[in-house]
Amino acid sequence: MLALSNATNRGPAAQEPERFQAPALPLPPAAERAYRALSLRVDGLAALETVRYMDQFWRIAGNPGFNSSIDYIRARLLAAGFAESPEKGRPFVRVEEWGKTRGWDYQIGTVAFADDGEVVLSRLRDRVSLCINSFSTPKGGLTARLIDVGDVGDGSEAAHYENLDVKGAVVLGDADAGRLWQHAVKARGALGVISTRVAPYIRPSDPTLFTSPDQHDVLQWGSVPYDADAKAFGFKASWRAASRMRERLKNGPVQIKVDIESTFYDGPNRSLIAEIPGSVKPDERIVMAAHVQEPGANDNGSGCGTLSALAAALAGAANGRGLQRPGRTLTFLWIDEIRGSQQWLAADPDRAKGVQYMFSLDMTGEDTAKTGGTFLIEKQPDPSAVWTRPSDPHSEWGASVVKAESLKGSLLNDVHLAVSLRRAKDTKWVVRTNPYEGGSDHTAFGDAGIPSVLTWHFTDRYYHTNLDRPDKTSALEMVHVGVAVATSAWFLATADEKDANAVVDLLTASAEARLALERRQGAALVTAASDRAKAEETEGAVLAAWRKWYGEALESVRRLPVAGSSPALDARIAQAQQRLKPE
């Protein structure tokens, strides 16, 4: 099942569409060696310690929590054997400062009823209920009318404010905090807003969706525009808190007391960069990245913890304990999401040109029994990102617009899936894929033309919420993801011609399985279509796109061996490409 929300509301079990089944081939020799060497080296408890440390902070680039997290991970890497500067091929770590950013954090953020002092929202209980960019109130707080725009609409349109005097008031509404702020604060002089908006797959008020006792206390954090003139604020409210405020409003006018102490920080952005230098082609890189900002344990303390644990495992293995030094450089980034990746790529264009593949680690440690999420490999854009297919459903994050002409096939999707399924075979780990959707650091690298995948979990009922805490994470899940990413990265940095031949076999088998699947589901789609001719045209385009994709994926194998391709490998690739051509 793709998403818990869909499955829960279907009633009797619906028949699952046929999914793509990766061919059950042995891993290439170097990948199998790396898997065996690394499968017991990724320290899940160390990853969980990193999650717990980062969980203390609302991490926004430039604020103390973000910087402290960077420093903590750096210290762990130094303790694991990374040096402070490169020397004789030894793994090293450094911090780069760049640009200027505005960090923000808050110490107090409380909403209470003015008459009896009952607290409705607070940092102590709700943790991230105050919106980013909220300004402090005067010392001792302020008292204002509470106005609920929800009686007219959600507060996202001007018409919802007709006949409402919100000047000097605090506006409660169901629209996004930013939209509420624009209409209530910027356009009509309100002091601040309280938004109830949550993503549709969370739905905390639906008793049929989740039975957890905390469902009514879930709120999703958010932001309001920075405005030094308005000096206003925004809050996010849980279903329980919003219901309590609306219950009081039924009995007449309500005054609330708002007390905020927040701080803005202006300074440089920081990126933590670690590398295991390549022994043969050090200018060619395999990049792994995790973003530091955001306040969640899973998002993205788990990605940072997983990356630090797998980096330590790779450094240990490269130090004569199980594996040789990689031929290509392994690069690890802990950064401000997307901006940090864009900066790393732009700072040294020659360095960026050497990046062969990239892995984004985002929400890698979920306890799936608690969150409702499933581990996913979000693929580099392939034809499933262009044409919606029953076999390749999108997550509830939602599809991005991908043009068929922009696709460029590579070996990355199939190799990383094969490695992940190797781990699943040993441990019963559940591994699924989803078409490209974007939204994390793989987007920045993909936009630069670098084959990139996202390792993540979704759908997650705690995504971007106050309840994304360490108790929702799993050390074992971080081990699974860490072993899979480390194995794939090491393989891509170390492969020889024998490995390349095995990848040709893998891609050939994958292409045959994919084309067979597309023919089966395509025939069913044509039969069900109201416009049969148009459906047949679409199915022809889909098959052609997959042939082109796998032809290019096979072509990419020429670059896989660290020592370079050979006439024998070139001939093998050409033969495999010939098999893809339609009869």
SS3 566: coil
pLDDT (mean) for 238-256? 96
Higher pLDDT, 360 or 324: 360
In a 10 Å sphere around its CB, with 0-12 CB exposed, 13-18 middle and 19+ buried, how is residue 88 labelled?
exposed
pLDDT band at 9 (very low <50, low <70, confident <90, very high): very low
Q: What is the mean pLDDT of residues 416-439?
A: 97
Confidence label for 219 from pLDDT (cuts 50, 70 and 90): very high
User: Would the pLDDT of 322 be above 70?
Assistant: yes
**Domain covering 104-265 in this structure, CATH number:** 3.50.30.30
Q: What is the mean pLDDT of residues 133-152?
A: 96
| First CA to last CA distance, the chain | 36
Cβ-proximal residues to 303 (8 Å cutoff; 6+ apart), any chain? 290, 291, 361, 362, 363, 364, 365
Q: Where are the beta strands (DSSP E) in 83-226?
A: 92-113, 119-121, 142-148, 170-173, 192-195
Q: Torsions phi, psi of 329, nearest 5?
A: -75, 135
Are 274 and 327 in contact, with CB atoms under 8 Å apart?
Answer: no
Task: Classify residue 117 as left (phi > 0), alpha (psi -120 to 50) or beta.
Answer: left
* DSSP tag of 63: S
Measure the CA–CA gap between 338 and 51, rounded to whole angstroms: 21
pLDDT at position 205, please? Answer: 61
Identify whether the C-beta of residue 330 lies closer than 8 Å to the C-beta of residue 284: no
Determine which of 255-259, 363-367, 371-375, 436-440 has the lowest per-residue pLDDT on average: 371-375
How many C-beta neighbours within 10 Å does residue 225 have? 16
- 87: number of Cβ within 10 Å: 9
Beta bridge partners of 500: none
Q: What digits encode the pLDDT tens for the residues 261-297?
A: 999 999 999 999 999 999 999 999 999 999 999 999 9
Write down the mean pLDDT value for the chain: 94
Q: Is the pLDDT of residue 116 over 80?
A: yes
The first and second tokens of residue 274, run together, are: 């670690």
* Confidence (pLDDT) at 203: 66
Encoding tokens for residue 162? 């007709």
* Bridge partners for 291 per DSSP: 335
Question: Beta 281-291 vs 328-335: how paired, if at all?
Answer: parallel
Q: Domain map of the chain by residue range? A: 26-91+277-494, 104-265, 498-580
Alpha carbons 532 and 523: distance in angstroms, whole number: 10
Rg (CA), the chain: 26
Please report, rounded to a whole number, the percentage of residues in the chain having pLDDT higher than 70.
96
* Digit-coded pLDDT (tens) for 463-491: 999 999 999 999 999 999 999 999 999 99
Residues 104, 244, 216: CA angle, nearest 5 degrees = 70
Burial class (CB in 10 A: 0-12, 13-18, 19+), 558: middle
* Domain 26-91+277-494 sits in CATH 1.10.1240.10: no
The pLDDT of residue 4: 27
Which residue, 338, 232, 326, 341, is CA-closest to 280? Answer: 326
When pLDDT is cut at 50, 70 and 90, the band that residue 582 belongs to is confident
pLDDT at 2 over 50: no
Among candidate residues 75, 65, 103, 139, the one with its CA nearest the CA of residue 301: 65
Residue 3 has pLDDT above 60, yes or no: no
The pLDDT-based confidence of 7 (bands split at 50, 70, 90) is very low
* pLDDT more than 90, % of the chain: 89
Residue 149: Cβ-neighbour burial (10 angstroms; 0-12, 13-18, 19+): buried
Instruction: Give the residue among 259, 193, 254 at the shortest CA–CA distance from 225.
Output: 193
pLDDT of 207? 58
Q: Say how many residues make up the chain.
A: 583
Kindly tell me if the per-residue pLDDT of 380 is higher than 80.
Answer: yes
Of residues 459, 475, 469, the one with CA closest to residue 210 = 459
